[in-house]
Chain A
Amino acid sequence: MEPILKARGLVKRYGRVTALDHCDFDLLPGEILAVIGDNGAGKSSLIKALSGAVQVDEGEIHLEGRRVHFSSPLDARGAGIETVYQTLAMSPGLSIADNMFMGRELRKPGLLGSVFRKLDHAEMQRIARQKLNDLGLMTIQNINQAVETLSGGQRQGVAVARAAAFGSKVIILDEPTAALGVKESRRVLELILDVKSRGIPIILISHNMPHVFEVADRVHVHRLGRRLCVINPRIHSMSDAVAYMTGAKVPDEDLADAPVAA
């Protein structure tokens, strides 16, 4: 199967630190690919490169077989890649609807929109409410509620809904359960599987091995700025994964840089 998102030989340096060292990456259509790695292994840099938040020094990124250059998160979004950052990238003082449409606001039709640049608040609120509904996040009374008045799980839900609403090709989730309690984590995992069932492939970055092994189809193990191997969570155990990740164990040759697991 041809990867929907593919990267080859990505290099990113910050001064004398090499965050990405000729890193490869493959995401297949319709799958959940987990990316795991120790702190400082370069997971964040990889994700930021794929989502347009940082620009790599070397290497290529291909989306659906076409080479792409993202100079900002807006570019990546325009191409259909949505990212839910660990920090959620939401403005706490603004409303749910404002946040969902940040950077892609809808304007009123006609002169009001084209000349006076007037936003279509009603339409944005309607769509936001509907998108939350679609993902079973409804019971929302006030879509104009400020995001800072929501709990951690609610915020995560809104962030995932935002990504699912607009991510036509790829959704990237960075540590979606890290800040959540057990109940809220469970709900977010369900949300992830729900998004997958719509046919949108997901990149899941997580430290939580049980969560990774529960939902992922393949696991990309990141170590020292590059892909060490890709493992199948149904064949390998969590302790294998942790051993590869930390360097305690070296993966077999046939696992290294394997684009598709058995």
Chain B
Amino acid sequence: MSSDNSGQLGFEAAISTRGSEPVADFAHKKTPLERLQHLLHETPWLAPLMVLIVSLIAFGILVGGRFFSGYALTLILQQVMITGIVGVAQTLVILTAGIDLSVGAIMVLSSVFVGQCVFSYGLPAPLALLLGFALGALVGFVNGILVARIKLPPFIVTLGMWQIVLAGNYLYSQNQTIGAADIQMQAPLLQFLGNTFSVGGATFTYGVVLMLGLVLLFAYVLRHTAWGRHLYAVGDDPEAAALAGVRVQRMLVAVYTLSGLICGIAGWALIGRIGAISPNSGQFENINSITATVIGGISLFGGRGSILGMIFGALIVGAFTLGLNMYGTDPQWTYLIIGALIIIAVAVDQWIRKAGV
């Protein structure tokens, strides 16, 4: 270190005493509110978890003991299964500061295509499923290319793709439904994720296990792999990420493709959930998945949030839907409260972003 600290300008000499003003002084006193802000900044899934616990307790008091039955609680899990799986795809895209409005449509397309593969083309069920996943990934890949290479806004790309896939799906399937009985007879594998098993009085479907598995898998990938850290960096500031050596375009294409693939898998879960294959099913999953993601504390501006938050967000919606249903009120209250929660969640996100700045 140079011992000559006197600057070219005399006034700088006054502050040149080394060490008196360290550049990196990280200690400063915090009020309890700032501590909370900081805590939420570091652990973004904490807020939705608290909301989930509070709402579960509230419904337990309102509805009584039957709300806490294994049946009711696992019913919530089963009802959020599709939203949870699609929410994983939505979370990955939103973390890159994008949005995917085509998730629900890709899911339905995939399920219809799997059905056609088995019932029109006579392919074996496992192969049909793989082709369905691949179709989902392909649509996602096209989204990714349009967003990353052609540099179109994700909102517009996926808005268009939503309509294209939905309409294409009706044209392709000629609006035909494949009945549950036919599937059960010819290709029971397609309904596998709807099958149930019991653990100590609670009933789970394999689809719920798949959902939880996907959430845990991506919680690990996002937190503990370089790819996950790069995904956050791309959503946070793509230019900075590129300068730091992250291949931003490749990352975006990978994320949208992965989103499509997960929606393809969700198509399988959808068949399990409703038993049949119908081009009319699951159309609002894009909105549902965005709702779960936002209530789960994942920032729409990208780069912030945890996938665990998304699943808590989905469970909050599930708890309100079932709780208010069991309480016997008009289901419109559910939508009203969920709407308010969305706005509150975004407001909290804005507040957390100001932490320490």
Q: Do A and B come from one complex?
A: yes
Give chain B nearest CB distance to A121 CB in angstroms: 8
- Give the residue name and chain of the A residue nearest to B18 (CB): A190
Q: Which residues of B contact A197 (CB under 8 A)?
A: 1-2
Q: Which residues of B contact A190 (CB under 8 A)?
A: 1-2, 5, 18
Interface positions, chain A 202-231, Cβ under 8 Å from B, are 210-211, 213-214
Q: How many angstroms from the CA of A87 to the CA of B233 in the assembled complex?
A: 14
Q: Which residues of B contact A183 (CB under 8 A)?
A: 15, 21
Give chain B nearest CB distance to A92 CB in angstroms: 6
- Give the residue name and chain of the A residue nearest to B228 (CB): A119
Interface stretch, picked from A6-14, A33-41, A144-152, A253-261, is A144-152
> Which of A102, A140, A157, A184 has the most CB atoms of chain B within a 10 A radius of its CB?
A102
Q: How many angstroms from the CA of A136 to the CA of B236 in the assembled complex?
A: 29
Q: Does A89 count as interface, using CB distance less than 8 angstroms?
A: yes
On whether A193 and B2 interact (CB within 8 A), knowing A72-B245, A104-B245, A186-B7, the answer reads: yes
Do residues A91 and B241 form an inter-chain contact, with CB atoms below 8 A? Answer: yes
Q: Does B22 count as interface, using CB distance less than 8 angstroms?
A: yes
Interface string of A141-170 (1 = CB under 8 A from B): 110111011100110111000000000000
Do residues B24 and A186 form an inter-chain contact, with CB atoms below 8 A? Answer: no
Give chain A nearest CB distance to B265 CB in angstroms: 21
Q: How many angstroms from the CA of A186 to the CA of B8 in the assembled complex?
A: 11
Give chain B nearest CB distance to A8 CB in angstroms: 25
Interface string of B207-241 (1 = CB under 8 A from A): 00000000000000000111101101100110111
Do residues A142 and B246 form an inter-chain contact, with CB atoms below 8 A? Answer: no
Do residues B5 and A89 form an inter-chain contact, with CB atoms below 8 A? Answer: no
Give chain B nearest CB distance to A55 CB in angstroms: 14
Q: Which residues of B contact A99 (CB under 8 A)?
A: 244
Q: Which residues of A contact B18 (CB under 8 A)?
A: 190
Q: How many angstroms from the CA of A253 to the CA of B227 in the assembled complex?
A: 53
Give chain A nearest CB distance to B242 CB in angstroms: 7
Give chain A nearest CB distance to B234 CB in angstroms: 9
Q: How many angstroms from the CA of A218 to the CA of B162 in the assembled complex?
A: 59
Q: Which residues of B contact A189 (CB under 8 A)?
A: 7
Q: How many angstroms from the CA of A199 to the CA of B353 in the assembled complex?
A: 40
For chain A, the count of residues having a C-beta within 8 Å of the partner chain is 62
On whether A146 and B41 interact (CB within 8 A), knowing A73-B244, A94-B236, the answer reads: yes
On whether A157 and B24 interact (CB within 8 A), knowing A105-B229, A117-B226, the answer reads: yes
Do residues B226 and A119 form an inter-chain contact, with CB atoms below 8 A? Answer: yes
Q: How many angstroms from the CA of A87 to the CA of B240 in the assembled complex?
A: 8
Q: How many angstroms from the CA of A83 to the CA of B357 in the assembled complex?
A: 25
Instruction: Give the residue of B9, B224, B244 whose beta carbon is less than 8 angstroms from that of A90.
Output: B244
Do residues A158 and B24 form an inter-chain contact, with CB atoms below 8 A? Answer: yes
Q: Which residues of B contact A89 (CB under 8 A)?
A: 239-240, 243-244
Q: How many angstroms from the CA of A184 to the CA of B12 in the assembled complex?
A: 11
Q: Does A88 count as interface, using CB distance less than 8 angstroms?
A: yes
On whether A119 and B26 interact (CB within 8 A), knowing A104-B245, A214-B7, the answer reads: no
Give chain B nearest CB distance to A131 CB in angstroms: 12
Q: Which residues of A contact B16 (CB under 8 A)?
A: 186
Give chain A nearest CB distance to B24 CB in angstroms: 4
Q: How many angstroms from the CA of A161 to the CA of B336 in the assembled complex?
A: 51
Do residues B245 and A73 form an inter-chain contact, with CB atoms below 8 A? Answer: yes
Do residues B244 and A118 form an inter-chain contact, with CB atoms below 8 A? Answer: no
Q: How many angstroms from the CA of A107 to the CA of B225 in the assembled complex?
A: 8
Q: Which residues of B contact A132 (CB under 8 A)?
A: 24
On whether A154 and B236 interact (CB within 8 A), knowing A53-B243, A104-B245, the answer reads: no
- Give the residue name and chain of the A residue nearest to B1 (CB): A194
Q: Which residues of A contact B11 (CB under 8 A)?
A: 182
Q: Does A93 count as interface, using CB distance less than 8 angstroms?
A: yes
Q: Does B356 count as interface, using CB distance less than 8 angstroms?
A: yes
Q: Does B304 count as interface, using CB distance less than 8 angstroms?
A: yes
Interface string of B33-46 (1 = CB under 8 A from A): 00000100110000
Q: Which residues of A contact B357 (CB under 8 A)?
A: 148-149
Do residues B21 and A90 form an inter-chain contact, with CB atoms below 8 A? Answer: no
Q: Which residues of A contact B24 (CB under 8 A)?
A: 132, 137-140, 150, 153-154, 157-158
Q: Does B150 count as interface, using CB distance less than 8 angstroms?
A: no
Q: Does B303 count as interface, using CB distance less than 8 angstroms?
A: yes
Q: Which residues of A contact B41 (CB under 8 A)?
A: 146, 149
Interface string of B253-272 (1 = CB under 8 A from A): 00000000000000000000
Q: How many angstroms from the CA of A150 to the CA of B28 in the assembled complex?
A: 11
Q: How many angstroms from the CA of A72 to the CA of B2 in the assembled complex?
A: 34
Do residues A186 and B5 form an inter-chain contact, with CB atoms below 8 A? Answer: yes
Q: Which residues of B contact A104 (CB under 8 A)?
A: 245
Q: Which residues of B contact A184 (CB under 8 A)?
A: 23
Chain A residues within 8 Å of B, Cβ to Cβ:
53, 72-74, 77, 83, 85, 87-94, 98-99, 102-105, 107, 116-119, 121, 132, 136-142, 144-146, 148-150, 153-154, 156-158, 182-184, 186-191, 193-194, 197, 210-211, 213-214
Closest 8 CB pairs of A and B: A103-B245, A149-B356, A89-B243, A210-B8, A105-B226, A91-B236, A102-B244, A74-B245
A-B contact pairs, 10 of them (CB 8 A): A72-B245, A89-B239, A93-B232, A98-B233, A102-B245, A138-B24, A187-B21, A190-B1, A194-B2, A211-B8
Known: A104-B245, A117-B226. 15 other contacts (CB 8 A): A83-B243, A89-B239, A93-B304, A94-B229, A102-B241, A103-B246, A138-B24, A140-B24, A148-B355, A149-B38, A154-B25, A182-B12, A184-B23, A189-B7, A191-B23
